[in-house]
């Protein structure tokens, strides 16, 4: 009797990386639509369109990029945990993204934030030559790294962004709400 129960609860609470990533993508797609100022007439209709296309009732980045082809960039992202090591009085310490200090983020050489985002982009085969928006969480706040050209709607708003350039590749990191508000809803068609 206990074997069946252990199997049941093990399958309920054990999530593989795929289902975690898919759940993350579902939340991010909903966030993008909301933060762009869009209020769909029917979320159920969008879910049904997604299910018809992918066989899954969850939004994914692939579905979003195909279905909303007018979105100005390729949407992608994932959680970033480990991002490098730091040497201190106790020796080498593993550092997670949420443990980075302002000094780490503003460091011009061997920047752990840039390295972690670059590694994540490479693992997802993102082409830096094409526009992209890579979404990742950082201490209960969603941030994104992107290479979008200057967004016109920024001129009237105060915003904070970190801009990095490496070998002529541009990488800008900022909160998702300011990026998606600047992108707006011109790309959305129901």
Whether the full predicted model's pTM is greater than 0.75, yes or no, is yes
Q: What six digits make up the tokens of 125? A: 């085969």
Contact 139, 175 (CB under 8 A): no
Q: Mean per-residue pLDDT for 69-77?
A: 95
Q: Which two tokens stand for residue 121?
A: 């982009």
Q: Helix, strand or coil for residue 133?
A: strand
Query: 69 pLDDT band (50/70/90 cuts)?
Result: very high
Stretch among 30-44, 86-100, 130-144 having the lowest mean pLDDT: 86-100
């Amino acid at each position: 009797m206990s074997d069946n129960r252990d199997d049941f609860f093990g399958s309920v609470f054990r999530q593989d990386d795929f289902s975690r990533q898919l759940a993350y993508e579902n939340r991010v797609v909903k966030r993008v639509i909301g933060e762009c100022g869009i209020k769909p007439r029917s979320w159920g209709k969008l879910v049904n369109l997604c299910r018809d296309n992918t066989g899954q009732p969850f939004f994914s980045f692939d579905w979003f990029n195909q279905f909303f082809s007018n979105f100005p960039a390729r949407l992608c992202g994932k959680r970033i945990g480990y991002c490098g090591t730091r040497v201190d009085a106790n020796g080498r310490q593993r550092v997670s993204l949420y443990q980075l200090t302002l000094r780490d983020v503003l460091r011009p050489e061997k920047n752990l934030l840039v390295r972690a985002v670059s590694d994540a982009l490479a693992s997802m085969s993102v082409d830096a030559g094409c526009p992209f928006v890579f979404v990742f969480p950082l201490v209960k706040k969603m941030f994104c790294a992107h290479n979008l050209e200057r967004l016109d709607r920024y001129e009237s708003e105060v915003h904070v962004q970190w801009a990095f350039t490496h070998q002529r590749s541009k990488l800008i990191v900022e909160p998702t709400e300011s990026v998606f508000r600047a992108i707006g809803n011109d790309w959305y068609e129901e």
